[in-house]
Amino acid sequence: MPIDTELLQAARAAEGRLIDAERAVDIARADFHHAVRRLHLAGGSLRETAEALGLSHQRVHQIVEGAGGARSWRLRRDRPGTTLKCSFCGAYQRQVRKLIAGPGVYICNECIDKADRVIATGEAAATALSAMKPVGEDAATAKCSFCGKRRHQVSGLAAAAGGTICTECLVLCHEIVAEELT
């Protein structure tokens, strides 16, 4: 028996809506987790934050730890032997294949690819710390954390919790990763 084309189209349309909804949920979850961590880092105790949000203390603790940890000073870059982490997703250097440093900012190989997709598609993507979003051309003050160029000086810019990166710096990052792998 042949497949009903109208039902098939309805199923494909529903699948598309489901994929979009799941993506929106991932981005909203990342934004929420980042906001909860920022509440804690701003001075609110885990218990105070939990009470204000109507969550359990344990759940807030899980969210804060999953979003990068409870202390902003846990990893100081100026101490010798400190483990570095990606400013965009929070992954530690030992957890990624490559971590590229800028002036006080770092990006891992996975976030390089994610930033490329965000700029190319114009759609946000979730990271463990927050959502990585494209920066619109109207954002006059937005600038790349690596080279300092403003949004109007580059063809694209992606921003996440701990930094922004432009298309030109992404090209350099790809070259660095490719060079290291050969």
Its pTM stands at 0.60
Q: What is the pLDDT of residue 119?
A: 95
pLDDT of residue 169: 93
Q: Which of 74, 109, 139 corresponds to the end of one domain? A: 74
Query: Cα dist. 148→68, 84, 114, 163, 168 in Å?
Result: 25, 21, 20, 11, 11
Backbone angles phi, psi at 101, to 5 degrees: -100, 145
pLDDT by residue for the chain (182 residues), tens only, comes to: 889 999 999 999 999 999 888 888 888 888 888 888 888 877 888 888 999 999 998 888 888 887 666 654 444 444 445 679 999 999 998 889 999 988 889 999 999 999 999 999 999 998 888 899 999 988 888 999 998 899 999 999 999 988 999 999 999 999 888 876 55
Q: One-letter amino acid identity for 170?
A: L
Same structural domain, 8 and 65: yes
Do residues 57 and 84 share a domain?
no
Whether residues 86 and 171 fall in one domain: yes
Structure token pair of residue 111: 């976030």
What are the b/e assignments for 69-87, b being 16+ CB within 10 Å?
Answer: beeeeeeeeeeeeeeebbb
Q: d(Cα 17, Cα 37) in Å, to the nearest integer?
A: 30
- For the chain, the C-alpha Rg in angstroms (whole number) is 19
Determine the pLDDT at residue 74. 40
CA distances for 130 relative to 15, 24, 27, 114, 148, angstroms: 26, 13, 8, 13, 22
Q: Is 107 found in the same domain as 171?
A: yes
Looking at the fold, whether 80 and 131 belong to one and the same domain comes out as yes
The answer to whether residues 175 and 137 belong to one domain is yes
Q: Which of 47, 74, 101 is the last residue of a domain?
A: 74
Domain stop point among 30, 46, 74: 74
How much is the pLDDT for 53? 92
Residues 99 and 155 in one domain: yes
127 neighbors 114 (Cβ within 8 angstroms): yes
* pLDDT at residue 76, rounded to an integer: 42
Verify that 120 and 139 share a domain, yes or no: yes
Domain around 126: 76-182
Overall domain count for the chain: 2
Q: Same structural domain for residues 96 and 176?
A: yes
Residue 146 near residue 105, CB atoms below 8 Å: yes
